[in-house]
């Protein structure tokens, strides 16, 4: 224990002599203070960076768990709404994807094409009406 106490005394004495030196002690104290404050700022910045990262990860998890695109259907522009309508009405395997075109103007859906069955045309119109964001559906589908 005597060696440990002796070394502790030597370290305290050396630090005292270093910081209380009449010629350079004031400058050394100020440098030590400035470095300590800078290290504290670095730690605070790192903590803020990690908190911001964790916030982004949490927002990503929430966005992933929330259904939809995060935008209201009214916010969708016409081309995006047209793609949304296409994905909904052409979802069944037997849907006439190659026979009907979908256009949207001011949230009004226009279905154009030629189908063999009037029932098939009605199903497409009804499916298009069910899509969120669609104000109206105009069927320009020829039957025959």
pLDDT at position 8 is: 87
Cβ neighbours around 33 below 10 Å, total:
10
Mean of pLDDT values over 105-116: 92
121 CB-contact burial (10 Å; exposed 0-12 / middle 13-18 / buried 19+):
buried
Asked whether the predicted pLDDT for residue 112 surpasses 90, the reply is yes
**What pairing do the DSSP bridges indicate for beta strands 108-115 and 100-105?**
antiparallel
Asked whether the predicted pLDDT for residue 70 surpasses 60, the reply is no
Query: 69: pLDDT confidence band, cut at 50, 70 and 90?
Result: low
């Amino acid at each position: 224990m005597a060696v440990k106490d002796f070394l502790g005394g030597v370290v305290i004495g050396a630090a005292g002599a270093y910081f209380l030196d009449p010629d350079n002690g004031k400058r050394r104290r100020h440098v030590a203070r400035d470095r300590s404050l800078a290290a504290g700022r670095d730690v605070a910045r790192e903590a803020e960076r990690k908190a911001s990262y964790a916030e982004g990860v949490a927002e990503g998890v929430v966005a992933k768990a929330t259904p939809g695109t995060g935008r209201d259907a009214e916010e969708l522009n016409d081309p995006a709404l047209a793609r949304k309508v296409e994905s909904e009405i052409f979802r069944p395997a037997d849907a006439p994807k190659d026979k009907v075109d979908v256009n949207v103007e001011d949230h009004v859906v226009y279905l154009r094409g030629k189908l063999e069955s009037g029932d098939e045309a009605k199903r497409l119109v009804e499916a298009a009406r069910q899509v969120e964001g669609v104000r109206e559906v105009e069927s320009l589908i020829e039957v025959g």
